[in-house]
Amino acid sequence: MSKANVKKRPAQTEHTALGAKKKIKTADEVLLKVKALAKRVREDPILSRTLSDLQLPHSCREVVDKNADSVLDEVESTIYQVAQQILNGEGFSYGIPSRAKGNQMYIPELDRIVLKDSKSQRPFASTSTCRKAVITTRILQLIHELCLKRIHVTKRDLFYTDVKLFEEQGNSDSTLDDVACLLGCTRSSLHVVASEKGVVVGRLTFREDGDLIDCQRMGVGGKAIPPNVDKVDSIQSDALFILLVEKDAAFMRLAEDRFYNTYPCIILTAKGQPDVASRLFLRKLKDTLKIPVLALVDSDPYGLKILSVYMKGSMNMSYDSSNLTTPDIKWLGVRPSDLDRFNIPEQCRLPMTEEDMKTGKRLMEEDFVKANPEWIKELEIMVQSKVKAEIQALSSFGFQYLSQVYLPLKLQEGDWI
């Protein structure tokens, strides 16, 4: 009996895959609903609203891009204020905007997380904050030097300028965010960038610091997203949509299959948790090209968390959400409801851990998730079934099932939320 089951399972899988493939129409027909979505995006662009437009009853903090001279002025002004406090006998202290969760809130009108205006003092005279005050001063000094020299460094470079003081990179990284918030500017304005992580491939050309980049000629690995997105301009594309992919493995499959040739698109991944450069680059593409963004993530709570960071912003960088978030990304897949709909084999469905369950339930309580009933419905399916699945589960039907069946069928049916 067990042998019969073993023989039967591949036949069932093949039959399921073949049945789905027969539903795929021509490329033009597949793209009809995508074209309709792209037209709506072009004709009804989301108006850029700011906190000041809303006249909220409480004040919130939002940062802006600043040039090197403006950042220099802010640094010098901050140090001058500290010196004045010392001369006045008030002591050496920084008033740092709080980035704690209690000082953050979701604004439905903006559809993103923002930072409220609460501050906490960082006095040098206190044993609990003395070292943080010194690190803050050192970071301000380094930022001043970078802006004077008009050069950029990575966060890792910054850490190695004073390893003895910083001890670990997390200390310099978090203080860098504090300083950006303190100076009222984006982190990229500080001339400190993260190392290259994200990659892009497909129907896209742009200039990076004057050099012409053609993303259709970058091979399977794609073009690394520049850490300094400010140097990207002359963006051009005939793509109908941007496909945002969570994982590198799925990105490589789509790139090698030249998915973007059959279905004109730009494929982008940050290889997991999105870095600042990838988030800035995606926002720049969406604002410039005015085409929809469709997301392909794992069917688990962390896939949805990654998607929410792109859309609503992260708690850690809520002060810069106006620049880092890309509103109205459509969740294409892999959704919990897809597991039964596409008959994903049981052996490819993974049991959710206790931590997965907690994360899923916490997500259902988030204001930005509650604002989308279809997201709640998908999360309920996930939590009730207690199973999750990776994008790679689709490979059980064949290595090219993702590019040749699953995605074309989802696009053809307009099956996104």
Query: Could you list the active site residues?
Result: 160
Structure tokens that stand for 275 in this block: 């870095």
Asked whether the beta carbons of 215 and 202 are under 8 A apart, the reply is: yes
Asked whether the beta carbons of 361 and 279 are under 8 A apart, the reply is: no
Q: How are beta strands 119-123 and 112-116 bridged, if at all?
A: unpaired
Asked whether the beta carbons of 388 and 300 are under 8 A apart, the reply is: yes
